[in-house]
Amino acid sequence: MDYLSIIRRPIEDELSDFIELFNRSLYHDNGLLQQALDHIRQRAGKRMRPILILLMARNYGKVTDVTQHAAVGLELLHTASLVHDDVVDESSERRGQESVNQMFGNKVAVLVGDYILSTALLNVSFTHSETIVRYLSNLGRTLSDGEILQLSNIDNEEISEEVYYNIIKNKTAALFEACAGIGALSAGVAEENVDKAKLFGQQLGIIFQIRDDIFDYYDDEKKIGKPTGNDMAEGKLTLPVIYALNSTGDKEMLELANKVKKHTISADEIATLVDFTIKNGGIEYADKRMWDFHRDAQTFLENDVKEPAIKEALQAYLDFVIERNL
């Protein structure tokens, strides 16, 4: 099934307007800065987050200039966070191409991320909505808090699902929650409806992150844009390995897990831990948890989405997030 076509169908014109506005916001006459911005624009991704904002605005009313500027602001904030994340994680790739820090160096990457962040705030100010400005500002704080929480988790000997969910609720899930919430806010709906939209967005974000975590156990680096075991190489323990460790209590593997957190694990040891996770049901468990969140998110579609075209698009969005192959 061509999920992406179904998702975009009811907002094709609005999405085109968004892309034009987004691209205009990433223009500068400084040569080096423009080179970096052009590099980022080359691999823009599927625009899943702004699409969610546009669909949610349409669900509760219509897409307005407020919606568009909020969507550009949030996508720029997300883009800035990715540039900074790659510096923190010392990542050399992003979306199948060299990361900004790999191509231009850490100093340029940090400054480019700062420029994009400032541009995000500028675009959000064009909404003339104090509520949306405050929401996006708090989102930036939340994302930073999530990164710091992940870094501080290195010294935390506890390996639990609770810690895992706390981190992703302050990172990926926070972004999707904000997209759904801001889309609803831009349509001027009651706070109760905004809260329902935000919960749906959070559930989407958790599913999205678990699916990403599962990709880390695949062998096809070209297909998924990062090497197998990359999360562990960056010091991250994700849901599949957390389950395998806690369900078996294997002391040898727990020692390897602690080496992951301390960044002292070797490539061979990562391969051993990946193999252990697969053999002990980590992938199957993570997949089951995704479908649990999918079931919960389905409630919003059944009760709070009335227009058939928007319901079909949001259903395809939910199904795509859980079934996507990259």
C-alpha 195/C-alpha 184 separation (Å) is: 9
Position 294 scores a pLDDT of: 97
Position 183 scores a pLDDT of: 97
Position 101 scores a pLDDT of: 93
User: Cβ–Cβ contacts within 10 Å for residue 59, how many?
Assistant: 26
CATH 2.60.40.1120 for domain 3-323, yes or no, is no
Write down the pTM of the prediction: 0.91
Position 223 scores a pLDDT of: 45
Position 40 scores a pLDDT of: 87
C-alpha 326/C-alpha 321 separation (Å) is: 10
Cβ 64 vs Cβ 57: under 8 Å: yes
Helix H or strand E segment including 70: helix 65-89
Ordered by start, the domain boundaries in the chain are: 3-323
C-alpha 18/C-alpha 59 separation (Å) is: 17
Closest by CA to 9, choosing from 308, 324, 300, is 308
Closest by CA to 238, choosing from 247, 230, 227, is 230
Q: Which residues pair with 97 in a beta bridge?
A: 94
C-alpha 101/C-alpha 108 separation (Å) is: 7
Position 225 scores a pLDDT of: 45
Position 242 scores a pLDDT of: 97
Q: Which residues pair with 94 in a beta bridge?
A: 97
Angle between helices 191-215 and 282-304 (to 10 degrees): 160
Query: Which single residue is written with the structure tokens 């190489």?
Result: 233
Helices (H), 153-190: 161-169, 172-186
CA distances from 212 to 165, 190, 206 (A): 14, 33, 10
DSSP annotation of 155 reads G
Q: What length does the chain have?
A: 326
Q: What is the mean pLDDT of each run of 10 residues along the chain (326 residues)?
A: 93 97 89 89 86 98 97 94 86 82 92 94 95 93 86 78 92 95 96 97 97 85 56 91 97 95 93 96 97 97 97 97 84
